[in-house]
Amino acid sequence: MLVKSLGDTIRNRRKELGITQPHLAELANVSTNTLYKLERGQGNPSLDVLNKLAEVLGLELKLDVKKKY
């Protein structure tokens, strides 16, 4: 459940910084509805949206090669 944990991370960081959903959406130039859905684990955010949010929140997106078990 990658999207849900991603939404949790964004919501938790936003709250740590004391930023409301509408304010974060404005700062990141994304719609409030997009942010709302993302934090609830819904929707399908683009990498562009995720990068915008990460930049405002001081987060970093990483892609790693899966390890073979």
- The answer to whether position 65 is within a domain reads no
Q: Tally the domains of the chain.
A: 1
CATH code where residue 39 lies: 1.10.260.40
Instruction: Express each pLDDT in 15-61 by its tens digit.
Output: 999 999 999 999 999 999 999 999 998 888 999 999 999 999 999 99
Domain with 18, as residue range(s), is 2-57
How crowded is residue 67: how many other Cβ atoms within 10 Å of its Cβ? 5
Position 58: which residue type? G
Of 6, 68, 43, 65, nearest in space to 32 by CA: 43
Residue with tokens 């849900």: 4
3-state secondary structure (DSSP) of residue 55: helix
Model pTM score: 0.85
3-state secondary structure (DSSP) of residue 60: coil
Q: Is the pLDDT of residue 2 over 80?
A: no
Of 8, 4, 11, 14, nearest in space to 43 by CA: 4
